Amino acid sequence: MARNTAYVCQSCGHEALRWGGQCAGCGEWNTLVEAPKEAPAAPAGGGRLGRAKGAAAKPVALRDVSAPATERHFTGIAELDRVLGGGLVPGSLVLLGGSPGIGKSTLTGMALGNMAAAGRKTLYVSGEESAAQVRMRAQRLGDGALSVPVITETSLENVLATLEAERPDACVIDSIQTLHSQGMTGAPGSVGQVREAANAILEVAKRIGSAVILVGHVTKEGAVAGPRVLEHLVDCVLFFEGERERSFRTLRALKNRFGATSEVGVFEMRGGGLVEVEDPSARFVGEASTAAGSCVLCSMEGTRPLLVEVQALVAPTEIVPPRRVANGVDRNRLAMILAVLARHGGPGLASADVFVNIAGGVRVDEPGADLAVALAVVSAHRGEPLADVSGSPLACFGEVGLTGELRSVGHADRRLAEASKFGLAPVLGPVEREPIKGLSPHATIRAALSAACERHSSARAA
Ligand SMILES: Nc1ncnc2c1ncn2[C@@H]1O[C@H](COP(=O)(O)OP(=O)(O)OP(=O)(O)O)[C@@H](O)[C@H]1O
Ligand SMILES: [Mg+2]
């Protein structure tokens, strides 16, 4: 008799016929859990096993496919709308991931509140908190949030029935890991349950044209739990991150079927909810220190230039190998920059601990940050500030190549325009094809280092 259960890895979703201590898919230990096999497809669809005969579908030229222009729903939070690519698309599924307590419920509660205030039909499904708790948060967020209808429900079937009955324009499910399907045996939050729940919601959302935001928890490795399974399924994956102790939070899109994934929204958590930070550069530059080991990076967050402060500390080490701690930049990238410095005109730091931090809890994931990291480290090592006579910090950008050359990165003009807005000029950077106003171009890291150090000696002489 055919078995109707399989062993599913809770980490990668790999299915095995027999239980084993280690998953053959991802190598994790103790992650296999018995779960019912996926139900065979309906007779019309052609089952996997029985190979039922299917009816041939008629392909249609894309030109002839009817695509009614659907209006997007604006959430009333400009930064969120921008990251979504211009509002929520009706019938789409958005996954919002983030670590505990980062403000996922606050953000979604505010979005629904604004939409309710704008006359849209909304629904908030809370599986984690009681209605009273949700109300307490809504009171902080204001009147709009209080008018959002809420249900506290963890049964997938009941949630689906409510969606069908209410047909909201926008719905938030907080969180997908708490939903539990009666037809499945796995615990809520297991891969099977999460996948089943997301699939069922996707089907209903597309049919009734609701935009659904699924709130998802992240695992300790930082992936949205129910790994990968969900990310393929949904239209848009948003990630809300930041340090809990710091008030800045950034929202970025990891995947977006309706817009660019490079957009980033910056928020600050306050008593009255999340406040959009419209001009984050002003905050970061205003707070930038003029001490040794600090410089300003002209980075790009999606299509928006952002000035952030890069700080470094170099201290004699007591351990072998020495510590390399990178917050907000890639650790491997830091190791590479230190190696290039050692080889091409910078200090050798084999016997020093190096710490690099992007102030404000921001993450910069672009090679354009290399030069700023290099200059901050050299400045920290020498104990010489990079600020000029007037105390204005040094701004720079550029990728450092393995042969010690400075390579150009995208949007040099916008980076420079943002820097000049804050009176930061000249900006050290790579040689561009055409000269740009405010740019002090250098072909190699060696040349950029000596230019930065000259700045220090002229500041001291003045
Ligand atoms: N009165 C307040 N003033 C300022 N910040 C507050 C206040 N109350 C709560 N917060 C912030 O809101 C955060 C919780 O927000 P929220 O419940 O939206 O997070 P969440 O991501 O949904 O968390 P969970 O993972 O528990 O669902 C807290 O960590 C805290 O930083
Ligand atoms: Mg929450």
Cβ of 269 below 6 Å from ligand 1: yes
Of 83, 90, 47, which is closest to residue 68 (Cα–Cα)?
90
Q: Is 102 in the pocket of ligand 1 (CB under 6 A)?
A: yes
Q: Are strands 304-316 and 352-358 parallel, antiparallel or unpaired?
A: antiparallel
- Which token pair is 148? 């959002």
List average pLDDT for each run of 10 residues in the chain, which is 462 residues long. 74 84 85 71 52 85 83 90 91 90 91 94 94 92 90 94 94 91 78 86 93 84 60 89 72 86 82 83 80 92 84 92 92 95 92 92 88 96 88 92 94 90 89 90 94 80 72
Q: Is the CB of 100 under 6 A from ligand 1?
A: yes
CA atoms within 13 A on the CB side of 306: 29
Q: How far is the CA of 98 from the centre of ligand 2 (A)?
A: 10
H or E element in which residue 293 lies: none
CA of 398 to the centre of ligand 2 (A): 39
Q: Any alpha helices (H) in 220-322, and if so which ranges? A: 229-233, 280-287
State whether the beta carbon of 245 lies less than 6 angstroms from ligand 1.
Answer: no
Determine the atom of ligand 1 nearest the C-alpha atom of 106. 18
The answer to whether 254 touches 232, Cβ cutoff 8 Å, is no
* Helical segments of 28-166, H only: 78-83, 104-117, 131-141, 143-146, 156-166
Task: Report the pLDDT value the prediction gives residue 221, as an integer from 0 to 100.
Answer: 57
The pLDDT score that the predictor gives to residue 425 is 82
**Nearby residues of 122 by Cβ (< 8 Å), 6 or more positions away:** 112, 115, 116, 148, 149, 168, 169, 170, 171, 172
For position 213, what pLDDT does the model report? 95
Q: Provide the token pair at 80.
A: 């969120």
- The strand pair at 236-241 and 93-98 is best described as parallel
pLDDT of the residue at 278: 77
Q: What angle do CA 5, 7, 11 make, to 5 degrees?
A: 140
Q: Can you give the pTM of this predicted structure?
A: 0.74
Residue 46's pLDDT is: 47
CA 56 to ligand 1 centroid distance, Å? 52
CA distance 437 to 24: 57
Give the position of tokens 């419209």: 278
